[in-house]
Amino acid sequence: MLAGSSQTSYIPMQVNSTGMIPLIFAQSILIFPALLSQYLVGNSITWLSSAALWVGTYLANTSLWYYWFTYFALVVLFTYFYAYVLWQQQDIPENLQKHGSFIPGYRPGEPTRRYLSTVLNRITLCGALFLGVAAILPFVARVGGNQLLSSAALLIVVGVVLDTVRQLDAHMVMRNYSGFLS
């Protein structure tokens, strides 16, 4: 607090702080049984060959609804996992306490940590559901049986557009204009 006035700042909490990492993890988990079943389907042991054929037919089949439900669930799960890993690394409640900052209405320490965890949980829920829908949307909306875009390509395009807008805005502000979008 400054003498007679207060200084306000913001805690950097993003709706999707994890980026594409949950998509990569979920796809890796789902590809592994398919890869293993393709390798074992030609095995001379009959029970192993039939089990590999069953896995390839039912578990790794991308045209079945439960494959995409599993993909959606894994993306949501990994979004929460990675968001909390990143949050624990930043240790924002402890840094706030070290710098003498506080959140109005919450005592420094454990109450602040609980409050920020609740906020992170709510924000991550929206981000995880959106990322899960973005992950399965290109596969659900196939046109003529062909997949036009993957979820990774969609997120890369959106990320590049957002980065370009931020760079344009920074150049406009640097040259004493009011900004690109404002």
Q: Which of 111, 116, 110, 134 is nearest to 18 (CA)?
A: 134
Please state the pTM of the whole predicted model: 0.73
71-75, 102-106, 160-164: least confidently modelled range: 102-106
Query: pLDDT value at position 148?
Result: 56
pLDDT of residue 146: 58
**What whole-number distance in Å separates Cα of residue 27 and Cα of residue 32?**
9
Q: Worst-scoring range by mean pLDDT, 124-128, 135-139, 141-145?
A: 141-145
State the average pLDDT over residues 15-28.
84
Decide which of 103 and 5 is more confident: 103
pLDDT higher than threshold 90 for residue 77: yes
